[in-house]
Every structure is written in C-alpha cells, then in structure tokens.
Structure 1
Amino acid sequence: MRCDSIRQKIENWKKEKLISDDEYYFLITSLVESIDKYANTASVYGAFLKKLKKSAQNNLILKPAELIINEKDHKVFNEDINKVSKKVKGDILYLDPPYNHRQYATNYHLLETIARYDNPKIHGKTGLRDYQDQKSLYCSKSQVKKAFKDLILKAKAKYIFLSYNNEGLMTLGDIKEIMSLRGKYGHFTKEYSRFRADKPENRDYKANKTIEYLHYVVC
C-alpha cells in the first residue's frame, strides 16, 4: 500500500505536468531501488513470505537514486542484447546474463509492473504478469550456446567480459570454446558462500559454495 501510494502520486504529478520526464523517471528509479529493502521476500519476487519479516514492517523511506554526473553523453537500450551488440560499438562489453533456467521476468515481475504501471492481467498465486515476449534464450539449455555464440561473434568490442558461475547452463568448456573464437581467452575465479533462501531439500544444488568466473577475451 505504501509503495502504491507513492507510485500513484508520481503518476499524478506526471499527468498534471508538475514534473518533467527526467524527474518522473528519476522518481520511479528511486522508488524501485528503495522498496527492495522492505519487500517481504527471501530475495527475488517470484514468491512472497507467508509472514511479514521485520524489515517489511519498517516505514518506507524513499531515498533518491545516486547519479554520476559528468559531461559525457550516455545511451540506454532496453532491447535484446544479441540485437543491441550488433549495432553498438565500444571498447568494453561486459555481460552478466542469467545463469540457469529461472527467467528474470518471473523473478522480478513486480518491479516491472511498478516501473511500467500498466495494470497488467495477472495470474497465479504471486500475480505474475505475462512475460512471453521477455523470455531469455540464456535460460534455455537447448538454446543458450547458440545465442551466446551469435553474441560473441557479432559483438563490436575490443574486450569482452562475461560473469558466470560454475552452476550455469553453459560449462566452463563451452564458454572457453566460444569466446576463444574471437581471440585470446582467459578467466579469473572467486569462491562465494551460497545464499540460502529455501530449505536444503528444495534446492537444485546442494553445495555450500559456488564459484564465480570472470571470463574475458581480447579480440
């Protein structure tokens, strides 16, 4: 209710032309970033906790999003990365795609609705919005390698970095083979303790540690 009241106020200010487009999107960004501290979830928004946790009972404080102000020109794209990479040139391309079969659209659907504020048709216990047009090939075991190869071969960048872990749909060998097609390949590793938000018997992976890889290729 608190979040929705703030979102309604932002929308009303926009309709009444009390704020500019830049101010409108700044306020939405600030709201989306702020509410994560109060969301009654374990981590993502695919499901909600049955009882209100302590942080969800705190007063919602809307904190302004932090911006890095400079004189550079910036562009933001909200498109399929495989399409964007073919038309945008740069020195560095950093990739952080989904690792497994869990679609981002279902895990963060509530934030999508808050941002769009489009009153979508919802279904299921957690009120999922339709996400058929947002499904990622990187969450498909049968399609991820083909999509990744297409991206790497057509990306217009001098250096390509990929963040991935040891439990992803692509193996270390898969990634090395594909990225090596563009040039000199290498990777760094770092071990992390696994984040646990569910019961052990419900997990796909039982290990207590996970290994994060930072892959790179010099094209």
Structure 2
Amino acid sequence: MNYLGSKTKLLGFIDTVVTECQFKINKPADEIVFCDLFSGSGKVANHFKDRFKVVANDLEYYSYATLCNLLNNDSSTAYECKPILDYMNYCMDGEQGFIYQNYSEDGGRTYFTNDNAKKIDAGISLVYRLYNEKELTEQQFYYCLCSVLEGADKVSNTTGLYTAYLKEFKGSSIKPIVFKGFQLKDSVADNDVYLGDANDLVKAVSGDILYLDPPYNQRQYSGDYHLLNTIAQNDKPEIAGITGKRVGRVGSPWSSKKKVEDEFRTLVESANFEFLVMSYSNESLMPSELVGDIMSANGKYSVHEMEHKRFSSKKGQKNAEGGETVTEYLHVLHKAG
C-alpha cells in the first residue's frame, strides 16, 4: 500500500535504535512487549512480530484491518484462504455496488475503472457474506478483506492519496484488479490489535518499548484515505463533495498545531513503558527541541537522525529548503522510575 509517512525504507534505522533499547531491558526478547501506538500501514509492528510480543493500534479502520491480518495471521491462514482468492480472481462476476455507483467512471468520480469498481464491490460483498454466515474465521476474514484493500489500492487512479482522483486513467489503474495473498511472518507471541485514540489506549496498556509515529503535519489521514475506510467497512456512508469524502470524519489532535504539544506531553507522562522511541521529522509540527525538552523532563533522553527521501504524491516535490530529503529523528526516552 502506498502510505503517507511509511517507514518501510527506515526499518533498518529503527531496528538499530530499538535493539539498543532491547539490550538494556532485563528480559528475553520474546517476553518484551513492543507497542506501536500509531501503526498506520503496520510495517514497523510487522517487522518486530517475530522478536517481541506486539501491541498495535490505529484510529482508522483500514489500518486496524491491516494490523489484524499482519499480526494475527501466518502462513496457515494464507493456505486456507487461497481457494477464496482464486475464486475472486477467476470466477467472480462484478457487482454494481456502492463503489461502482460513486467512485467509478460511470459514478462520476474516476477513482477506479468501471470493471475494477465492480470487482471491488463483489469482493467486499463476498468476504462480508462469508464471514456473517460463519464460513470464515475472524483471521480469514481480515486476510481476505486486506486482499481486496491491497488490490484496490494497486489500481486506484490517484497519486497515492484519496484526496483527489486523476481525470485520465493512468497505466496502473486500467489493469484488471488482482486479489493477491500475503507472505506472513510467524509471531513469537499472541499479539493485540486495537482501534482507537492513542492517548486513551496508552493509559490502558503497559510494556517495555513504546514506538510512536504520530502524524507529522496538519494532514488528516481520515480524509487522505477515506475510500479505504469505505471499502474496508462496507458501510455505504453519506458522502459529499467532488471527491466523495465521508461525512462526519473525525480529525486527530496530533495534526493540530494548537493541540499537538498537549497531546504529546500527556502521552509521555502517561506512558507506562521503560523506553519511548518516537519517529518525527524536521518538517513536523513540533520542533525537535520541544520534543527533547518534554522527553528530558521524564527521564534520560537521546536522539538519532538520518537523512532520507521525503514521501511525495507528486514527482519531484521539494522540501521547504528546496531539496528532496528530510531529516528523520528518532527521539529516545528512558523513563525515570
């Protein structure tokens, strides 16, 4: 999935810093609880599932579904679901459902070709019907649901975000949708997945390493990926505007200049974890110095940094200084007491 702020290319950097924290914890690795509080695409949580027990959370349902698949499934689920994906790819007819009616060429919004929109509708309808009829387990449900999500994202006629669609279909969007399986790593423990507000959850969970990757700027993920939520939830919401966004979307205070400092300060003070590791770039709402001051007030603080290519939905988009890279900081707090 093309994802704003994805840490796929930074996993080595993150792993190095997390490993330093791990060596200071007096526990075997498989007894360490690693919590990914703003998990997004699940890349970081999935990276550590074969080393630690993982607790993962996000506010968006498409992310929650992705996390349930990545963290609570393995190769056995992939084997069990292969016949269903084969049927979806080779035998399933399309349906003129909600996606076709609102997000296809015939629907007046060219997010998908007519044929792909019909297949998305049919895929979601099938997965939910099989689950409601108890022909799919919860694990199988999320595996098949995420196959539809991933397939839809691959053929979406966008620049990576769902804030707008392209007027002309690009090459990848006119290819027939394919519902693929996943290569899933084995877990060392039973993992927990939550759907909710980060600051509420951090008061209810505890562990050893808390990884934070909050929104960096004032973009709202509920708007950027609204269509993935609609596909995943199969709920036919009220929509509005040229781009057909869901009505009543809830924004994150972490994307508010006025609220983010208080949210961060409260989270750091509330967190019942030995280590906090926070990804935050030099283009973020809070300056690095402020992050350091808040963490330093709660224990031993250090920071690591790395230059990397910035995410952009537009080719060649520059940063504030005219370059194409940003500085990624990993702020580390070893909490006192």
Per the normalisation by structure 1, the TM-score is 0.91
For 1:24-173, list aligned pairs within 5 A.
Answer: 24-70=141-187, 72-132=189-249, 134-173=250-289
Note the alpha carbon deviations across 1:94-120, whole angstroms, 9 max, x for none.
011100011110001111111111110
Q: Does 1:197 align with 2:332?
A: no
User: Which consecutive unaligned segments of at least 5 residues does structure 2 have?
Assistant: 1-116
Cα pair 1:153 1:181 within 8 Å, conserved: no
User: Which consecutive unaligned segments of at least 5 residues does structure 1 have?
Assistant: none
**Counterpart of 1:54 in structure 2: which amino acid?**
G
SS at match of 2:326: strand
Shift of 1:199: 8.1
Cα pair 2:216 2:285 within 8 Å, conserved: yes
Q: Matches of 2:170 and 2:326 in 1, distance apart?
A: 27
SS at match of 2:304: strand
Aligned match of 1:207: 322
Distance 1:73 1:17, change over 3 A: closer
Cα pair 1:106 1:131 within 8 Å, conserved: no
Cα pair 1:43 1:197 within 8 Å, conserved: yes
Range 15-24 or range 177-186, more displaced:
15-24
Note the alpha carbon deviations across 1:78-109, whole angstroms, 9 max, x for none.
11110111110110000111000111100011
SS at match of 2:193: coil
Q: Matches of 1:141 and 1:203 in 2, distance apart?
A: 22
Aligned match of 2:134: 17
Aligned match of 2:294: 178
Cα pair 2:161 2:313 within 8 Å, conserved: no
**Counterpart of 1:189 in structure 2: which amino acid?**
E
Note the alpha carbon deviations across 1:30-57, whole angstroms, 9 max, x for none.
2223332222111111111111111111
Q: Matches of 2:150 and 2:133 in 1, distance apart?
A: 25
SS at match of 2:294: helix
Q: Does 1:6 align with 2:123?
A: yes
SS at match of 1:27: helix
Range 180-189 or range 154-163, more displaced:
180-189
Cα pair 1:45 1:108 within 8 Å, conserved: yes
Range 59-68 or range 202-211, more displaced:
202-211
Identity of aligned residues (%): 36
Shift of 1:20: 2.4
**Counterpart of 1:40 in structure 2: which amino acid?**
N
SS at match of 2:192: coil
Distance 1:191 1:203, change over 3 A: closer
**Counterpart of 1:158 in structure 2: which amino acid?**
E
**Counterpart of 1:77 in structure 2: which amino acid?**
Y
SS at match of 1:86: coil
Q: Matches of 1:166 and 1:18 in 2, distance apart?
A: 49
SS at match of 1:169: coil
Cα pair 2:208 2:275 within 8 Å, conserved: yes
Q: Matches of 1:69 and 1:50 in 2, distance apart?
A: 42
Shift of 1:23: 1.5
Cα pair 2:319 2:326 within 8 Å, conserved: no
